[in-house]
Amino acid sequence: MIVLENISKSFATPNGRKYVARNIDLTIPKGKAVALLGRNGAGKSTMLRMISGNMNPDSGRIISDGTVSFPVGFAGSFHRDLTGAQNARFVARIYGVDTDELLNFVCDFASLGGHLHMPVRSYSSGMRSRLAFGISMAIHFDTYLVDEVTSVGDIAFRRKSAAIFKNRMQTSSAIVVTHSLVEVRNLCNAGAVIEQGELKYFDDVEEAIAMHSANMKRNG
């Protein structure tokens, strides 16, 4: 379970402060794969980073009663001069998991071939996302935060990503950001919509999709 208590977050812009969260109170229950929906710039990735602890809200607090992954697909924490394999071993040590087991999983899953032993600075954004997804899926978290990564790669890799995600959802929860409503329906059983600093949760993912679609039409 993740609880957001009076969360606010804004950024300075030439046109004044832009709020991506404004006094949000919300409880996200256990056992749900929640699609986080919203138009571009609404604050989806910012919300994931706050829930993960990578970014602080301006006010309020976020409480979790279990372990939460780093935002899968956000590879900004990788050391660019280390290889993918070295980064994987480093993350394994941070989270106290077997380094060889994690690296073997990543090697098999991410399909990076020889690039796994090359510096991350040489990777494309898709390769970094596949590395991040492989590392996170190799570690048990109570809640996974997934940002667009299931749409990375070819059809075979996307199917493999969806399969491992569904396997992890048998014992964990997730918050998933994706622009693909096909992915939302395939991966998620609940939804939340962020719009103009407000966040609304739905136990029925179709209700979340309906609200998001209405928002998109209203905003052109």
What is the domain-level CATH number for residue 172?
3.40.50.300
The pLDDT of residue 132 is 84
- Same domain for 148 and 57, yes or no, is yes
- Same domain for 54 and 152, yes or no, is yes
Residue 118, in any domain of the structure: yes
Contact between residue 209 and residue 184 where contact means Cβ atoms under 8 Å apart: yes
Number of domains the chain is built from? 2
The pLDDT of residue 133 is 84
Q: How far apart are CA 28 and CA 188, in angstroms?
A: 13
Residue 99, in any domain of the structure: yes
The pLDDT of residue 203 is 95
User: The tokens of 135 are what?
Assistant: 């590392």
- Same domain for 27 and 55, yes or no, is yes
Domain boundary among 139, 164, 188: 139
Which residues, 6 or more positions from 58, have their beta carbon under 8 angstroms from its beta carbon? 8, 9, 10
The pLDDT of residue 63 is 95
Domain membership of residue 86 as a residue range: 78-139
- Same domain for 63 and 149, yes or no, is yes
Residue 72, in any domain of the structure: no
Low-confidence ranges of the chain (pLDDT < 50): none
- Same domain for 117 and 152, yes or no, is no
Contact between residue 191 and residue 37 where contact means Cβ atoms under 8 Å apart: yes
pLDDT tens figures, 71-125: 775 555 689 999 999 999 999 999 999 999 999 999 999 889 999 999 999 998 8
Domain boundary among 88, 105, 139: 139
- Same domain for 175 and 109, yes or no, is no
Residue 73, in any domain of the structure: no
